[in-house]
Amino acid sequence: MQKLNITEARKAFMKLSDKTEGTQIIAVTKRNKEVMAVMSWDLYEGLLETMEILGDPELMGDIKQGMEEIKSGKTYSIEESRRRLGL
């Protein structure tokens, strides 16, 4: 993770979006302490969505159940899934 002090970040503000493509995060520091993170909007949205999923007990239960079913071999082929869904 790249680090910039707050003065450097202020000077480079207009170019920071070029440096945060993909999953790159820039830590901005003030007096050698990390005070904020700069990241792409896509990464930010992905993190929010992940936090929503992790914070939903019902959805997490469904995910865990699905993973257990996969481990135990309770799966369907694509063809069988389409047939069951009427596609």
75: β partners? none
**What is the C-alpha to C-alpha distance for residues 77 and 21, in angstroms, rounded to an integer?**
36
Amino acid, res. 5: N
Per-residue pLDDT of 29-60, as tens digits, reads 999 999 999 999 999 999 999 999 999 999 99
Domain extent listing, the chain: 2-41, 57-87
In degrees and rounded to multiples of 5, residue 19 shows phi and psi of: -90, -5
For the segment 61-72, the average pLDDT, to the nearest whole number, is 95
What CATH architecture does domain 2-41 belong to?
3-Layer(aba) Sandwich (3.40)
**What is the C-alpha to C-alpha distance for residues 13 and 67, in angstroms, rounded to an integer?**
43
Amino acid, res. 41: W
Percentage, residues of the chain above pLDDT 70:
100
